[in-house]
A and B are shown apart, each in its own frame.
Chain A
Amino acid sequence: MKITTFHYYLPEPPEPEKFFGHFRSLGRIRIEPPAHIRCTYFDTFDWRLHSAGSLLVEEREPYATCLRWQSLHDNALLGQVMTEAPRFIHDLPTGVLRKGIEDLVDMRALLPMAQVDLRPVRAAVLNKRGKTVLRLVIHQGLAGPPGTSDQQLPPRLHIEPIKGYRKPLDQALRIAEKELTLAPASPLLVEALDLAGREAEDYSGKLDVALQPEQPVGDALRRILLHLLETMECNLDGTRADLDSEFLHDFRVAVRRTRSLFSQVKGVLPPTLLGRFRAEFKWLGQVTGPTRDLDVYLLKLPGYRDSLPAAMQADLAPLQAYLEKHQRIEQRKLARQLGTVRYGKLLQDWRTFLEQDFDAQNWPGKALVPVGEVANRRIWQSYRRVLKEGAAIDNDSPAAALHELRIDCKKFRYLMEFFQSLYPPGKIRKQIKALKSLQDNLGDFQDLEVQAEALKGFGHQMQAESSNLPSETFMAMGVLVDLLYQRQDSERSKFAERFARFARPGNRRVCKELFNP
């Protein structure tokens, strides 16, 4: 079944009957009536399907719509459902397709990336039993961004082999390449994206700015901050429209990283500028917070529900309604804030500053130090601090000590990520991974408590907003709060082991080798 389709460009729009005549020596050729298919390619904003080597296409014909999940590499069908593309994967009926991609796509919306209106003319090459042994398809049509396919697609020929029938394929390839001298074409998806003005994997939430160790740290910071600004800009429309919760998430991470850079690398940015932007980005962090908090609870809700006894699961419905209602309210406020003059001016001024070429005269003296030096020093300091704080924590330490450590771990993580291009990729990634496991533990420990407290708060507010909620709902929420505290305890008990793993001698040696100034 896993057989590659061969693609060729046709020099001019062919007359199908005449064109297929070139392949007459293969057997009887049955030409099917022309069809009309609208193909819309879907992926998440950050191209999760494409980067996993697959594509999702909705094929709309006059009487049927089919959603197909295919391998990028050979077009092999990995799953299909007779339905339109849903916005979220959990709206699909269970089956091979959903199962195959739900972990990958997760909470991200499926967005149309490009559209092709095809008028394929298909021909089957039949053997003497009347069995199809090869398919030939002439594709013509229009392509473009979703909703507006207006660019002419160069006519193409697809040769689709059928498993176990190698000979007709070889003959057809020979005819196409030797006799008709057709040039190989790029896959339809690539062509469609190109005509839609897109490029696959043109966005990733990951931060990796290429730096040189001897570059002045001021210039390095400027580049990192510019990259972070671009991430905010990329995610703005999706955040305002609330296409899915990850737009706001990526937006906020970029804001947080920006603010972290302000405080983590001191004395480098021009102080006059810093004062204003520090305050403005703090504001941006604040106005985007409430929506994100509610998003998080909505994302967690299915897990909450599953953790309850089956008989109580339905009792959480009013909580969901409450969260959804408030998410809508906060989202509207947020969208408004991101449309204000204040926001527009912040981003515009920030861009103006960052886009100026690095000129030593406008920057403090500290900005001229090579970034390699600064990175080593700051990461090393930060690492030592994490080690020291972590080692001081024992079973009796207060929760505050773990919270403190969590914050310092985050700083350490950000520093490694900002400057990762200065270090051997394999080694730095391993360090980030080692830290991540500790961060997850600390994060869960704190978040579980925050969640438990938040749930109590929601309970009070729900009561205040509506007097006739069933008492079962509050009971279910109470059970949930209990469970969260239990899980928090269990995270606490894992800390020593996680920290020991992070601080093990092998890791220390690598860190010393990488960062020790």
Chain B
Amino acid sequence: MKILATYNIKGGVGKTASAVNLAWMAARDGIPTLVWDLDPQAAATYYFRIKPKIKGGGRGLVRGKHALEDLIKGTDFEGLDLLPADFSYRHLDLLLDEKKKPTRQLRKLLKPLGAEYGCIILDCPPSISLVSEAVFRAADALLVPVIPTTLSLLTLQQLVKFREDQDISGLHILPFFSMVDRRKKLHQEIVAELPRDYPHMLLSEIPYASEVERMGIYRAPLGSYATSSRAALAYAALWQEIRARLEGRVAWE
């Protein structure tokens, strides 16, 4: 089982769209996949038309009242399941903090699912908090959508530094460009330059596209209704890059 997390300190960068679309592609490739919507805004849950509520809320979950397995919902797509968001996740920090070794909790919770899923994708809330730290300890790799703007670069640097400061050496950080608008000169420049600083970044870039925004209307992964759209093809290419790393054909970093 490999655990990936779509993460950025900044919000509105395309985390959830990436989580949902990549998970759909993993499942289509025959890898049993689970998305855990950790964001109380519940956007991933919304995309799958599932009720953003879990039995016992975040508290029951952290305290182990219900097995994770029993809270999982099947999506409309074969091989793709969801652990829904719950509004109580906004206090997940506090709940984790009640436990011993709070940053180890997510990994511990996810462990029993290894037998059933080949890939787990955590869709994380923005910000840097105890929850994100627990995610860093649980995940094999962070998929970091980066809008080619100066501010986004800054947050990426913060993230890399945080990993060093906290000494989370087992965690790979894989940035990729998201919401790229090739008409903007700044976007073009950053897209050209950043790979020099991050030679291991994923090369497929996700364009700024209205199809992605329309996922909120269709409430389904792009690949399921707009297979050959530009954005869907971009996600497919991105998934191929990630898959090569999951299967050990390409080094992570």
Interface residues of A (CB under 8 A from B): 1-3, 68-69, 77, 79-82, 94-97, 124, 129-132, 162-165
Contacts and interface: CB of A to CB of B under 8 A. Distances in A.
Interface string B62-88: 000000000111101011010000000
Contacts of A163: 72-74, 81
Given A1-B81, A2-B116, A94-B247, A131 B76 contact: yes
Interface string B104-129: 00000000000011100000000000
B164 to A, nearest CB: 34
Contacts of B145: none
A2 B78 CA distance: 11
A162 B29 CA distance: 20
A156 to B, nearest CB: 20
Contacts of A97: 30
Contacts of A132: 76
15 contacts: A1-B32, A1-B79, A1-B116, A68-B30, A69-B30, A77-B78, A80-B79, A81-B29, A129-B49, A163-B72, A163-B74, A164-B72, A164-B73, A164-B74, A164-B81
Contacts of A2: 116
B48 interface: yes
A162 B74 contact: yes
Given A80-B30, A80-B79, 12 more contacts: A1-B74, A3-B74, A77-B79, A79-B30, A79-B31, A81-B30, A82-B28, A95-B29, A97-B30, A129-B49, A162-B74, A165-B73
Contacts of B48: 131
Nearest to A66: B30
A80 B80 CA distance: 13
A94 B118 CA distance: 15
A130 B249 CA distance: 40
A68 B71 CA distance: 27
A84 to B, nearest CB: 15
A3 B30 CA distance: 17
B219 interface: yes
B50 interface: yes
Interface string B216-238: 00010000000000000000000
Contacts of B71: 164
A74 to B, nearest CB: 12
A499 to B, nearest CB: 40
Contact of A96 (B31, B50, B116, B249): B31
Report which residue of A1, A69, A77, A124 has the largest number of chain B beta carbons within 10 angstroms of its beta carbon: A1
B104 to A, nearest CB: 26
A161 to B, nearest CB: 8
Interface residues of B, number: 23
B51 interface: yes
Interface of B: 28-32, 48-51, 71-74, 76, 78-79, 81, 116-118, 219, 247, 249
Contacts of A96: 29-31, 118
A95 B30 contact: yes
B47 to A, nearest CB: 11
Nearest to A126: B49
Contacts of A77: 30, 32, 78-79
Which 9 A-B pairs have CB atoms at the shortest separation, nearest pair first?
A: A164-B73, A163-B74, A80-B30, A131-B49, A162-B74, A79-B30, A132-B76, A129-B49, A96-B30
A5 to B, nearest CB: 12
A130 B30 contact: no
A32 to B, nearest CB: 12
A391 B49 CA distance: 73
A129 B73 CA distance: 14
Most buried by B among A68, A95, A97, A165: A95
Contact of A129 (B50, B79, B247): B50
Nearest to B119: A96
Contacts of B247: 94-95
A171 to B, nearest CB: 17
Nearest to B84: A164
Nearest to B118: A96
A3, A68, A162: residue with the most chain B Cβ atoms closer than 10 Å: A162
Contacts of B116: 1-2
A131 B81 contact: no
Contacts of B79: 1, 77, 80
Nearest to A2: B116
Most buried by B among A79, A81, A131: A131
B51 A129 contact: yes
Contacts of A164: 71-74, 81
B100 to A, nearest CB: 30
- Best-surrounded residue of B30, B79, B118 (most CB of chain A within 10 A): B30
